[in-house]
Structure 1
Amino acid sequence: MRAFSPEPRILPRPLLAGHGSGIELLDHDAVPGLPGGGGAPGSMLLLHGFGGDKAQLRPVGDALCPQGSVAVYPSLRAHGASHRPAWGYSVLDFAADLHRFGDALPGDLHLVGYSYGGLVAAVSAVTWGASRVRSLVVVDQSFDAHPDLHVADEWAEGSLLRWTYDFGHLPDLLERLGIPVLVLAAAGSRNILADEQERLSRRDSASLRLEIIHGSHADCYRNTGEITSAMRVFYRDHFSAVRKEQENS
């Protein structure tokens, strides 16, 4: 089982790594930002959805992570080369995995999450607060409870603990913390239903913005150009350094 690679790294070694404790940390890639990335100042933590892995959002990070920063792509538990415990699949378990190597992550983080990864990112942002997390982008993930979507399959625990609980309070907490949020809802998806879209639209303000992107829930994350375009505008409106860079380009 792979934890953190012994190859040369750009992140410091997490405190929990190599202590003989048997704790398995998430497999990840850490990729330096590129010149002309066009993202906000700070590094990025990008979280895939169920069935994906650390490569799923790599095109988004490659397009936006600025030079001098780093984009971190973990494979969540039971995905990719990360550990696969028999149980422990609530959003809190996934967020705790990130917390276990959080000391190795840069101080100023922009979180991006697709599908279930968006909910994990939101919980992590609330946990870490504005001193670590500068912004949050959620790609086609509902905050509402939808018990009818629970399926008793091999992911029964995660499905039950996700769909039978309402996470609609998270936007309020993020606003109180001063963490701006961009929600991207896929036009062909039924993940964020019309009533939730209406509620999110009504609170559209400096703290939360809702945008509609093309695609279904299954494929919207592939719309890299549309996603990164919306994120650039979002970053420009919240971070003066991005505005200056775009004005001078």
Structure 2
Amino acid sequence: MAEIKIAAETRTEFGKGAARRIRREDKVPAVLYGQGKDPVHVTLPGHDLMLALKNSNALLSIAVDAETHLAIPKQVQRDPLKGFIEHADLLIVRKGEKVVVDINVVLEGEAAPGALVVLENSSISLEVEATHIPESVEVSVEGLEVGSQILASDLRLPSGAALAVEDELLVVNVTHAPTADEIEAELEEAEAEAGIERDESEDSPAAEAADPELADPSAGGDDAGSSAE
């Protein structure tokens, strides 16, 4: 993964008020830490950081004062409603150093007819070189039958990567795809457990059976008498 260069500024103000002032300027308070060094508090340009972190394991080259630090995001706090970045914790790394990161699992192919593919773990923890973090791990489900499973040990890992989870971790589970009748039955059962009663529609067979006039509007009633006249 290529390094993404970002110019930072040293941060000397702290607290909620200072953080709000920083964000009003479209910047993000952040901290660089690791390698046995004292934490470095910085502000980063908000737009540049947002673009860089579209990949959650981006390798950042942070230039601050006369130094440049290689770093990866460890914790990113976002506004729960608007989604903008409020704060970022960045881990300083060195070339050749091993780090443990969560890599997205991407499914490829189509399972056998009637099979439902369930992605039990959408990401997998891998130990990789800090400067060679893969974007994803691809998993083929082409032609898999009901009952098939893919464990962590079955994954084809990128070069230089090693599992940081148990070999038996279930990643993909292939089950029977439910029919429309099964889905309807499960819905009715869930509604019954929740105490929800369905209203019979006037167009439903049950309603028509209860009221013959709904089944045949011409039968009986004042309208039928008027037609006779």
Q: TM-score, normalised by structure 1?
A: 0.22
By percentage of residues, which structure has more helix?
A: 1
If you compute each CA radius of gyration, which structure gives the higher value, 1 or 2? 2
Q: TM-score, normalised by structure 2?
A: 0.23
By percentage of residues, which structure has more strand?
A: 2
**Greater relative contact order (Cα 8 A, min sep 6): structure 1 or 2?**
1
